[in-house]
Amino acid sequence: MNGIKIRGTGRGVPSKVVTNADMAKIVETSDEWITTRTGISHRHHLAEGETITDMTVLAARRALENAGVTPDQIGACVVATLTADTQVPSAACRVQRELGLPHDTVCFDLNAACTGFLYALHTMECLLGASERKFGLVIGAENLSRITNWADRGTCILFGDGAGAVVVECSPAYESIHAFLGCHGTDEMLRVPGVEKGVPSLVYMEGTKVFKFAVEAVPYCIDQVLARTGKTVDDVDFFVFHQANARIIDLAVRKYRIPQEKYYKNINEYGNTSAASIPLVISELHEQGKVGPGSRVLVVGFGGGLTWGGALVEFA
């Protein structure tokens, strides 16, 4: 079976920075209230004239340059998102057009909420195994400020916009990422109503229940990935968690006694960017030299659906 490894990374972040003080002007809250409960102090929102397509294309272009791969070498492009600029054409088709990917490139969007990037990675591993071109673009991108309920102080403080991308390479010499994915279909805790439903298409979330789900899902995914790969915590070079809440990450770190040099939090700067969260972390780590050729990274995500997942990904 063919496996995939990461060859390059990139990200695109909106220019508008929204602080907790800015949020306090919109709803009844404070910097202290937000930071102690979530770990967030800033988030980026799309400014007037910016689009999620702009961020997605920018992240993809940077990932290609970083990987040393040209558009004509791409065999598939999958964008994990629930907030594309248009339902049709898809965000992935817009990337194809803007970057000039070959017309026979498989391009589509995938929605698994905050776990979307992991679902897309596994999907890409399957796609490239049957493709003549062995490089793929996997992108997570969100415009969550567009679907935020600005009257709900419990959720509007959480979300940010942005895009992260990776170029992956497929080879029979590479081990599988051993993706572990799952879902439990429910809209009771976390949902975004569809169009023409008579209610606004805004995020609804019961924070306490989602937090409880997350603190159970994260160790479950870690255990499953380690069992599938036959690895231990010591065999992993870096842990990348979906950045939903700093306390969720801290609980996992304590449970597995993960050293400080083996995990990273950027929720302070970006907030929860859903499907963009994990690739934003990976891009920053790569840029800072904390991961690189040969690095083994255990990635964990969880989100609406409810969905969850984990994988062990290496850098080429």
Which position among 44, 245, 272, 286 bears the catalytic label? 272
Distance of CA 277 to the CA centre of its chain: 4
Distance CA 162, CA 210 (A): 22
Closest CA to 240 of 232, 248, 249, 229: 249
Which position among 77, 107, 114, 170 bears the catalytic label? 114
Task: Let me know if 170 is a catalytic residue.
Answer: no
Task: Provide CB contacts within 8 A for 23, sequence distance 6+.
Answer: 29, 34, 156, 157
Task: Let me know if 272 is a catalytic residue.
Answer: yes
Distance CA 255, CA 219 (A): 8
Distance CA 146, CA 133 (A): 36
Residue 316 host element (H or E): none
Distance CA 43, CA 273 (A): 9
In the three-class reduction of DSSP (H, G, I as helix; E, B as strand; rest coil), residue 301 is classed as strand
Which position among 111, 242, 245, 286 bears the catalytic label? 242
Question: Which residues belong to the active site?
Answer: 114, 242, 272
